[in-house]
Amino acid sequence: MIPLILPLAIALTTIIAVVYITYCYAFITAKNGDLKCVSKYPHISIVLPAYNEGKAIEGRINNIAQSDYSGELELIIVSDASIMAN
């Protein structure tokens, strides 16, 4: 039970962060019409849960690396008690 709780908590935290970032994007866009008014984008940390991801994680990392976000991105990959190679 304990090994299952951590990946679920990480996934929930990631979902909350994505919803918050989406809300901020929508608020700024609605208020100013576009994001060009933002002079400095905030530093964003992305937590990627990787429980038994194996080969699939490479595609996820590439998707994040190819994003068009202008600010600094930090990728944190969390793997706990995986059976497969991550």
Q: In sequence order, what DSSP letters do the residues of 31-53 get, joined into one string?
A: HHSSSTT-SSPPPEEEEEE-TT-
Per-residue pLDDT tens over the stretch 52-84: 777 778 888 888 888 888 888 898 888 777 676
Strand, helix or coil for residue 76: strand
pTM over 0.85: no
Residue with tokens 């994003």: 67
- Which H helix or E strand runs over 78? strand 73-78
* H or E stretch covering 30: helix 2-32
Q: pLDDT tens for residues 3-32?
A: 667 777 788 788 888 888 887 777 776 655
